Amino acid sequence: MAAAHESLVYHADIKSVRVLDEHAVVLHGYVQHRSEHGRIVTAQKVWLYVVVDDKLFRSEVFETEAAALEAYRSLGITLGTSSPAESVASGRNTQQHPPEDAS
């Protein structure tokens, strides 16, 4: 999949969006790219977007919605990649975790 980003053939398409809470949405869709053998392949993907102050704060791609939900529940809105400067600059506790009912 890493080579897909270097290919001139790459397409992502979103088929559905599910709002989890005031910070997170899960998007279901697929990507098409050229494989290392030159064939066009299609793979289903799930994107987790975390939004803070109306801006995309974090995003990650997963194979399943269950994996995306688990990452959000366990890592919180930072998805495990916060820095102290971000917390201070935003005035937020970016280590907060989503509500238990975000499923």
> pLDDT tens for residues 10-48?
899 999 999 999 999 999 999 999 988 989 999 999 999
Measured at the alpha carbon of residue 69, what is the angle toward residues 64 and 73, in degrees to the nearest 5? 150
Q: What is the pLDDT of residue 102?
A: 55
CATH of domain 2-90: 3.10.450
Interatomic CA distance for residues 81 and 79, integer angstroms: 6
Interatomic CA distance for residues 49 and 68, integer angstroms: 10
The verdict on pTM exceeding 0.75 is: no
- Name which residue leads in pLDDT, 28 or 103: 28
Region of residue 76 (phi > 0: left; psi between -120 and 50: alpha; otherwise: beta): left
- Please name every residue paired with 58 in a beta bridge, in sequence order, or none if there are none: 50
Residue boundaries of the structural domains of the chain: 2-90
> pLDDT tens for residues 41-69?
999 999 999 999 999 999 999 999 999 99
Query: 42 near 34, Cβ under 8 Å?
Result: no
